[in-house]
Structure 1
Amino acid sequence: MADHHAPPEPAAGSERGATAGGPRHVLLPLALAQFICSFAGSNMNVMINDISEDLDTTVQGVQTAITIFLLVMAALMIPGGKLTERHGRKRCFQLGLAVYGVGALLSAFAPGLGVLILGNSVLEGIGTALLIPPVYILATLLFTGVTDRARAFGAIMAMGGIGAAAGPLIGGLITTAVSWRAAFVFQALIVGLILLLSRRVPDPLPADPTASFDVRGTVLSAVGLIVLVTGVLAVDDDAWLAAGLLAAGALILVWFFRSARAMERAGKEPLLSTSLFRNRTSNLGLITQHVQWLVLMGVSFVVAAYLQVVRGYNAIETGVIFTAATVGLLASSLAAERFARRRAQRTLITAGFVLTLGGIVVLLAMTGGSASAWASSPGLFLIGVGLGVMLTPSVNIVQSSFAEDEQGEISGLSRSVSNLGSSVGTAVAGTILVADPSHAYAAAMLTLAALGLLGLAAATLLPGGQSPNAGARGAAGAGG
C-alpha cells in the first residue's frame, strides 16, 4: 500500500511542517470542496417546483434525482478512498473535481429529468466520491497537532455544514434571480476555482501504482448500498417489494464482508479491511456521523418541500427561512477548535444531538401553532447549532482512531457512511412526505427525531476522555 511509505518532511512530519502551508494554501481548497459537495446535496430542495415544472416531472422525480446523487456518493466513496493509494491523493482530488464540473455543466443544460440525473446524480456523484476522501486524508496527514487538526476539521466540516444548510438560501437566490440552471453553473465556477487553488496542495505520500484494487468488493459494496436505499424509496409504492429489496441489499453486504474476510485469509488486500470494524470508538463515531447527516438532509428536504408544496413559498422565500439553520451551524462550527480544547468529544457529540432533537421539537411545536413561516426559525437555529457542535468531533474521533497507513480506507468508509446517512434521510423523509405533504410533515419530522435518538444513544457510549487525536497515537487497539 502506498500509505506505508514514510511521509517526507516537512509535510506531515511535524506540526510546524503541517501548518507551514497555512489555511490559504492547503485548507481553503479542501474546505471549498466539501462546501460545494454539501451544497449540491441540499440546494435542489428549493428548486423542487421550478425543476418539476421546467422539465415536466413531479416532486417525486426531483426527490429521486437528489437521492440518487447522495446514493452514488455513498456507494462509491469507499472505492474512491482506496484509489488514492494507487493514483495519489492530489490526483484523485483533481480528477474528481473535473468529473464533477462536467456533471454540473451537463445539468445546467439538461433538457429533461434523465439528463439531469446523468449530470447531477451520476457524474457529480462520481466526482464527489473521488474528491472527498482525499480531502480528509490530506487534512489528517498535513495537520498533525491536536489544535491544528481540530482547526482543520472544524473549517472543513463548517464549510460542509454551511454548504448543506445554506444550499437552500443560495440556491433560492440564484433560482429566483436567474433560474435553477444557473445554480449548476455556479457549482461549475466554484469547482474551477478549487482546481486552480489545488495546484499548491502537496501530497505527503507517493502514489503506489502497484497497489491492489478489489473489483469484486467494489461491485458488491456499491450494489448492496444501492439496493438497500432503493428498498427505502420503494416503501411508499409496494411494501413487499421494499422488504425484498432491503433483505437483498443486506444479504449482498454480508456477502461483501465475507468476501473481504476470505481475501484477508488468503493474504490478499480487500477493498475494505475488516479490522476497521474492530475499533469500538470508531464504530460508535461512524454511527453518529451517519445519523447526523441523515437528520440534516432529512430535515432540509422535509422543511423545504413543506414550505413550497404546502405553504406555497417560492425558492428565495424558502431559502431565506433556512438562514436560521445556517447561522446556527456556522456559529457552532467555527467554535470547533475552542470546544475541542475545553470539552471531551463525547460531551460535544452528545450535546449536539440533544440540541438537534430539541430543535425538531421546537420546530414542530411552533410551526404547527402559527401561520407564519418565520415560526420555523427558532427550531431551525437550534438544529443548526446542534449539528455544528457535533459534526467536527465525530469526524475527528473516527479519522484519528487509525494510523497513516489506514487513512485511505477509513476516510472512504467515513464519508460513505455519512453520505449513506444523507441518502437514507432524504429517502425516508421524502417517502413519508410525498405520500401526503399536508398531513405527513409531522410524521416525517418525528421519524427523523426517533432516528436521532439512536445517534444520541451511540454518543453516550463513546469514551468520555477521548482527546481529538488519541487515535493518532495508536488507538487502533482501543476498540473493543
Structure 2
Amino acid sequence: MTERTSTGRFPAGLRRALVAFALAQFICSFAGSNMNVMITDISKDLNTGVQGVQLAITLFLLVMAALMIPGGKLTDVFGRKWCLQLGLLLFGSGALISAFAPGLGVLIIGYSILEGVGTALLIPPVYILTTLLFQDIGSRARAFGAISAMGGIGAVAGPLIGGFIAYAVSWRAAFVLQTLIVLAIVLLARKAVHDPLPADRSLPFDVAGAILSAAGLVLIVMGILVADENAAMTPALVIAGVLMLVWFFLRVRAMERAGREPLLSLALFRKRASNLGLITQNMQWLMVMGTSFVVSTYLQVIKGYNAIETGAVFTATTVGVLLSSVFAERMARRRPQRTLIMAGFAVTVAGIVLLLWLGSATGGIGGMIPGLFIIGLGLGGMLTPSVNVVQSSFGEDLQGEISGLSRSVSNLGSSLGAALAGTILVAGVDSANPDRAYLWAMAAVAGAGVIGLIAATFLPRTRPGAVV
C-alpha cells in the first residue's frame, strides 16, 4: 500500500516524484499545442506557409504516437528511470535546437523528431512508475488525476502561454522555456524518482514489429495530411497504413503462438473496458488538438489576430479545464467513470455547438469565449477517468505495454486532430468562403466527440474506485 503521512498527504519523496511526473506530462502536452498560436510568426520568420507549420506540428504528434509503443517496451529492457532520463535529454536538446532553427528543416529535426522521440521515451515511464509507486487504487487515482490534469492544462494553456511569450519576446523563447523546464525535471527526478523493478537487458525487443506499427500509423496520418494537395494519394496511403497494421497484428499473433515475445501482447485487447477506454482517449485528444489547431489558425490566418490575442481567447478553455479538474477527484468518488466520460463528451460537443453558434452570431472573439469555456469543462472532466479505465484494467506485469499503447493511442488522436481538422481548414483558407471551412473543421471535431460518447455508453457500469 502507498504510505501516507498523518495529514493524509503523500510522503515528501513521493510528492516530489509526482511533481516531476506531472511536469513531464505538462511540458509534452504544452509542446504539442503552444505552436498553434505562433503559426503566423513562425511562417514569416522561417519563410514557410501555414502548411509547413502544420506539418511540423503533426509530425511531432505523429512521431510520439508511432514510437510510444516501442518506448513503453524499452522501459522493461533498460529500466523506467533510464528511459525517463534519456527522453528528457532528447526532448531538451530538441527544444534548444528549435530555438535557434534557421529554417523549417531544422525546426522539424529539433521539434518534430528529437522532441517527439524524447516524449515517446519519457511518457511511458511516467505512467508505469506512477502505477508502481502509488500502489493502492485511491492513491493511484489521485496521482493519475494530477498527471492527467497537468497534461490537459498543458494542452489547453499552451496557446495562452505560447501566445504571451511570442508576443512579449519571440516564438523562439517558448522553446527556451521548454528547455529550462526539462532541466528542472531532470534535477528533481534524479533523487525523487526510483525504479522499484530491475531492468532486464536480456529481454528481446521486436524491431520488425516496431517498424511495422510505426510505419502503419505514419502512412495513415500522412495520407490525411496530404489530402488538400494531392487527394488521389490519400486512399493509397491510408490503405497502405491499414495493411501495415494488419501485418503487424498477424505477426504478433504468430509470435505469441510460437512462444516468442512480440512488441505488444494481444492480451491488451481482450478486455472490453480497456478497448473502449482507448477509443475514448483517442477521441478526447483528437478534440483537444483539433480545437486548438483549428481555432488558433482561424483567428490568426483568417481573422488576422496576433499571437497574444489568439492565446488570450484560450484562457476560457484553460479556466474550464482547471475548474473541472478541481472537482474531478470528488466526482470520481461519487460517480462511475463511465458516467464522467459520457458527461465529458456531451458537454464538450455542446461547447462546440455553442462556439459555432455564438461565434457566428457575433462575429467577434467575445462570442467564442462561452463555447471555449464549456469545451474546457467537458475535456477536463473526462481525461482522467479514461486513463484510470485503461491503466487499472491490467496488473503490474503489463503496465509497460499498456502505458505505451495508451499514450500511443492518445497521441495518435492528437495527430489526427491536427491532420484531419487542420487539413479541412487549411484547404479552405484561400477559398472564397474560409468561414465555411472553419465550420466544417469544427464539425469534424464534434463528430469525434459523438463517436467518443457512443463508445463511452458501452463501458461497464462499475462503482467508483472499482477495478474494471
TM-score range, shorter-chain basis?
over 0.9
Q: Judge conservation of contact 1:224–1:252 (CA < 8 Å) in 2.
A: yes
Cα separation, 2, equivalents of 1:16 and 1:165 = 32
Cα separation, 2, equivalents of 1:203 and 1:468 = 26
Q: Which residue of 2 aligns with 1:270?
A: 262
Q: Judge conservation of contact 2:346–2:449 (CA < 8 Å) in 1.
A: no
State the 1:448 CA deviation: 1.0
Q: Judge conservation of contact 2:33–2:293 (CA < 8 Å) in 1.
A: yes
Q: Paired residue for 2:413, among 416, 421, 425?
A: 421
Cα separation, 2, equivalents of 1:378 and 1:139 = 35
Q: Which residue of 2 aligns with 1:464?
A: 461
**Are residues 293 and 356 of structure 1, via their aligned partners in 2, closer, same or farther at CA, if it must alter by over 3 Å?**
same
Q: Judge conservation of contact 1:325–1:381 (CA < 8 Å) in 2.
A: yes
Cα separation, 1, equivalents of 2:308 and 2:4 = 45
CA distances 1:249-293 after superposition (whole Å, capped 9, x unpaired): 000000000011111011010000011111110000000000000
CA distances 1:98-152 after superposition (whole Å, capped 9, x unpaired): 0000000000000000000000000000000000001111111111223211211
Cα separation, 2, equivalents of 1:75 and 1:399 = 20
1:251-330 map, 5 Å: 251-330=243-322
Q: Paired residue for 1:442, among 431, 439, 443?
A: 439
Q: Judge conservation of contact 1:55–1:112 (CA < 8 Å) in 2.
A: yes
Poorly superposed stretches of 4+, deviation over 6 Å: none
Q: Which residue of 2 aligns with 1:216?
A: 208
Cα separation, 2, equivalents of 1:415 and 1:334 = 23
Aligned partner letter, 1:462: L
Q: Which residue of 1 aligns with 2:346?
A: 354
Q: Does 1:241 align with 2:240?
A: no
Which SS does the other structure have where 1:38 is aligned? helix
Structure 1 segments unaligned to the other structure (5+ residues): 1-12, 472-480
Q: Paired residue for 1:45, among 33, 36, 54?
A: 36
Cα separation, 1, equivalents of 2:133 and 2:328 = 18
Q: Judge conservation of contact 2:338–2:461 (CA < 8 Å) in 1.
A: yes
**Are residues 249 and 103 of structure 1, via their aligned partners in 2, closer, same or farther at CA, if it must alter by over 3 Å?**
same
Cα separation, 2, equivalents of 1:388 and 1:89 = 28
Q: Paired residue for 1:400, among 392, 404, 410?
A: 392
Q: Judge conservation of contact 1:47–1:172 (CA < 8 Å) in 2.
A: yes
How many matched pairs? 459
Q: Paired residue for 1:165, among 153, 156, 161?
A: 156
Cα separation, 2, equivalents of 1:326 and 1:355 = 15
Q: Does 1:31 align with 2:28?
A: no
Q: Does 1:369 align with 2:364?
A: no
Q: Which residue of 2 aligns with 1:111?
A: 102
Cα separation, 2, equivalents of 1:261 and 1:422 = 28
Cα separation, 2, equivalents of 1:77 and 1:322 = 28
Cα separation, 2, equivalents of 1:312 and 1:328 = 26
**Are residues 153 and 469 of structure 1, via their aligned partners in 2, closer, same or farther at CA, if it must alter by over 3 Å?**
farther
CA distances 1:55-83 after superposition (whole Å, capped 9, x unpaired): 00000100000000000000000000000
Aligned partner letter, 1:164: A
1:7-156 map, 5 Å: 13-16=1-4, 19-21=10-12, 24-156=15-147
Cα separation, 1, equivalents of 2:10 and 2:459 = 29
Cα separation, 1, equivalents of 2:363 and 2:251 = 55
State the 1:234 CA deviation: 1.7
Q: Judge conservation of contact 2:2–2:139 (CA < 8 Å) in 1.
A: no
Cα separation, 2, equivalents of 1:115 and 1:44 = 15
Structure 1 length as normaliser, TM-score?
0.94
Structure 2 segments unaligned to the other structure (5+ residues): none
Which SS does the other structure have where 2:112 is aligned? helix
Cα separation, 2, equivalents of 1:82 and 1:441 = 40
Q: Paired residue for 1:388, among 360, 363, 380?
A: 380
Cα separation, 1, equivalents of 2:263 and 2:326 = 35
Cα separation, 1, equivalents of 2:75 and 2:465 = 24
Q: Judge conservation of contact 2:335–2:463 (CA < 8 Å) in 1.
A: no
Q: Give the share of equivalent positions with the same residue, in percent.
A: 66
Structure 2 length as normaliser, TM-score?
0.96
Q: Judge conservation of contact 1:155–1:334 (CA < 8 Å) in 2.
A: no
Cα separation, 2, equivalents of 1:122 and 1:466 = 42
CA distances 1:30-69 after superposition (whole Å, capped 9, x unpaired): 0000000000000000000000000000001000000000
Q: Does 1:176 align with 2:167?
A: yes
**Are residues 466 and 217 of structure 1, via their aligned partners in 2, closer, same or farther at CA, if it must alter by over 3 Å?**
farther
Aligned partner letter, 1:391: L
Aligned partner letter, 1:216: A
Q: Which moved more, 1:15-24 or 1:192-201?
A: 15-24
State the 1:23 CA deviation: 5.3
Cα separation, 2, equivalents of 1:467 and 1:131 = 30
Which SS does the other structure have where 1:381 is aligned? helix
Cα separation, 1, equivalents of 2:453 and 2:463 = 17
Q: Judge conservation of contact 1:397–1:468 (CA < 8 Å) in 2.
A: no
State the 1:170 CA deviation: 0.5
Cα separation, 2, equivalents of 1:433 and 1:178 = 28
